[in-house]
Structure formats: structure tokens, C-alpha cells
């Protein structure tokens, strides 16, 4: 069963942004070495806060008290894999919302197995590119490192399958496709358009989106609203940044500025969201 009536609205997203700024949730990020600095700056600019705790001695304990947790598989090793599991298990047990970003899953067998194990702790949201979402759901996919070789819409059946493990799932691309469950339990689909072709030219824009999702999940009334608010915030900020930049370097700076200046009224005016009908199971 699917529904478009329970899809998040522009007012839902605007209210979530106001709540984010009012509450400044603290995100615990277990992320890759490439993205830690930029991810922290993104969260600070958007209105949240970040702490990077990924050691085996503290990851689980802090996940119990954080506002939200990001587990990003960008540069895993034996030690961080244990920390990922500890944080995911603790977040699940404590009711802390947590995000799984399955970077590189599908093309790299060891981390693919790790991601499958982490699904048992039921991430609140899963965010990846189309190839990663397809691979995580066991439907194949053609992953080139951390880049996607699949069209985003092709990940919809896989995203729906992952709702068996998570409350909300998104596949990022030129248009982002999100699925989640409404208050009546029916699956709901939402497209988020916008953004900029400059986003993949700057490292960590995808990883930092995962952190922003964790921040929004800490304050949003539903997982799908939190996921959609993060995607819309990024899309609108990226469009503003592109208008004020001349290349990747100036875009990165303008993007942080735009994340900071986007407010609830800006989201209402500029966010481009649209519910869509989900395929029936026999059409997947």
C-alpha cells in the first residue's frame, strides 16, 4: 500500500528548520577521514553541532546521549568497524535516531558485509546514492568507488525494500528520491529537486548531508520529514551558492554561507518537493 497524502509539505520542512535552529541538536559523527572537517562546518552553518567520536572505547556510550548519530562507511578499518557496530547498537537500544550512509557498498565486499550487519540495528534513515541503495538492498547496482553509475529513480524499488530495516530511505542524485512511512503505516514517496552540479565537485557534500539528516532526525516529528528537510535545505543552499560562486573553491565557501542564511521562509519559497506514486510490489 502506498500513499501521497502523508508526504511532507513545505510547511513541515520549514517547521523542522525552525526547530533545528531553536534546539541545536548535537550529532555524533562516525565518518571518514576525508569528510570530518567539512561535515562539522556544514552542521554548524546549518544550525546544529557535531562531535567526531569513533573510537571503540567511547562510540557506544556517546551514541546513547547524542541527539543523532551518523555512521558513514567511507574509510572503515577494523577498529572503526567495531565502533560503528557499538554506536549503532547503542543508538538502537537508547532510541537515538541514527543514519547509515553506505559509502562504497556493492563494489567493496568487506564493507558491504559490514553494512548488512549494521542493518540489524535498524537505522532510522539510510542515505546513499542510487548504486549504494540498490546494492544494500541486494538488487545489484554498479558502484564506481563512491560514485553512482545508476539513475536515481532506478533505486526506488530498492529503497522500498530497505523500509523493512529503516523508517526512511533516500537515494541522492540530480533529483533525490525519498521513501518512508506515514502515520497510517503506508509507504510514501517524495521527490526533492534542485541542488547544483557543483555539489559533486566538492568533497564531503554527500557525507555531510548524512550528518545533516542525523541532525534533523533529532528534532523532526517523523523520520521522513527529517530526511526531507535535510535534502531540501541542501538543495536550496546549493542553488544559492552556485549563483554566488565561480568554481569549486568559491562554491564550498558560498555553500556554507547559504546553509547559514537559508531560513524557513526561504524553504517555503524555494524548495521543490513533489510526492510521487510508489510502484506496487508486483511492479518492483
> In this predicted model, what pLDDT tens digit does every residue of 26-80 receive, in sequence order?
999 999 999 999 999 999 999 999 999 999 999 999 999 999 999 999 999 999 9
Parallel, antiparallel, or unpaired for β 26-30 and 147-148?
A: unpaired
Is residue 187 in a domain? yes
Q: Which residues of 156-173 are buried (b: 16+ CB within 10 A; e: fewer)?
A: bbbbbbbbebbbbbbbbb
Answer whether residue 245 shows pLDDT above 60.
Answer: yes
Bridge partners for 71 per DSSP:
30, 100
Answer whether residue 160 shows pLDDT above 50.
Answer: yes
State the Cα–Cα distance between residues 153 and 151, nearest whole angstrom: 6
Answer whether residue 284 shows pLDDT above 50.
Answer: no
Block residue for cell numbers 549504494:
132
Give the structural domain span for 179.
Answer: 2-279
Question: By C-alpha distance, which of 240, 213, 241, 214 is closest to 229?
Answer: 213
Answer whether residue 143 shows pLDDT above 70.
Answer: no
Q: Is 95 left (phi over 0), alpha (psi -120 to 50) or beta?
A: left
Cα-Cα end-to-end distance for the chain: 13
Question: Average per-residue pLDDT in the chain?
Answer: 93
Q: Is 45 left (phi over 0), alpha (psi -120 to 50) or beta?
A: alpha
- Total domains, the chain: 1
State the Cα–Cα distance between residues 199 and 83, nearest whole angstrom: 29
Is residue 284 in a domain? no
DSSP label of 79: H
CATH number at residue 147: 3.40.1190.20
Are 277 and 189 in contact by the 8 Å Cβ rule? The answer is yes
C-alpha cell at 115: 553494512
Alpha helices, DSSP H, located in the chain: 10-23, 36-46, 59-63, 78-94, 109-118, 130-136, 156-162, 205-217, 223-243, 248-261, 264-270
| pLDDT tens for each residue of 178-230 | 999 876 778 999 999 999 999 999 999 999 999 999 999 999 999 999 999 99
Are 42 and 238 in contact by the 8 Å Cβ rule? The answer is no
Q: What percent helix, strand, coil does the chain show, rounded to 5? A: 50, 20, 35
Amino acid at each position: 500500500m502506498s500513499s501521497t497524502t502523508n508526504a511532507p509539505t513545505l510547511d513541515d520542512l520549514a517547521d523542522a528548520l525552525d526547530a533545528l535552529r531553536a534546539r541545536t541538536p548535537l550529532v555524533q559523527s562516525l565518518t571518514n577521514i576525508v569528510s570530518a572537517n567539512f561535515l562539522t562546518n556544514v552542521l554548524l552553518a546549518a544550525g546544529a553541532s557535531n562531535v567526531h567520536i569513533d573510537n571503540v572505547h567511547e562510540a557506544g556510550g556517546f551514541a546513547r546521549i547524542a541527539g543523532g548519530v551518523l555512521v558513514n562507511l567511507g574509510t572503515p578499518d577494523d577498529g572503526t568497524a567495531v565502533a560503528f557496530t557499538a554506536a549503532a547498537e547503542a543508538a538502537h537500544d537508547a532510541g537515538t535516531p541514527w543514519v547509515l550512509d553506505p559509502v562504497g557498498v556493492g563494489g567493496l565486499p568487506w564493507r558491504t558485509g559490514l553494512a548488512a550487519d549494521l542493518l540489524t540495528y535498524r537505522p532510522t534513515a539510510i542515505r546513499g546514492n542510487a548504486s549504494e541503495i540498490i546494492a544494500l538492498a541486494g538488487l545489484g547496482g554498479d558502484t564506481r568507488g563512491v560514485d553512482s553509475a545508476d539513475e536515481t529513480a532506478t533505486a526506488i524499488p530498492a529503497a522500498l525494500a530497505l523500509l523493512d530495516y529503516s523508517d526512511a530511505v533516500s537515494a541522492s542524485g540530480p533529483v533525490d528520491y525519498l521513501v518512508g512511512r506515514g502515520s497510517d503505516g503506508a509507504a510514501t514517496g517524495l521527490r526533492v529537486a534542485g541542488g547544483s552540479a557543483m555539489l559533486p565537485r566538492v568533497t564531503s557534500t554527500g557525507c555531510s548531508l548524512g550528518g545533516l539528516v542525523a541532525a534533523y532526525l533529532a528534532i523532526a516529528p517523523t523520520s521522513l520529514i527529517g530526511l526531507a528537510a535535510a535534502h531540501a535545505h541542501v538543495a536550496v543552499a546549493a542553488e544559492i551558492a552556485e549563483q554566488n560562486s565561480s568554481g569549486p573553491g568559491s562554491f564550498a565557501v558560498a555553500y556554507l554561507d547559504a546553509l547559514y542564511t537559508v531560513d524557513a521562509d526561504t524553504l517555503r519559497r524555494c524548495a521543490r518537493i513533489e510526492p510521487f506514486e510508489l510502484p506496487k510490489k508486483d511492479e518492483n
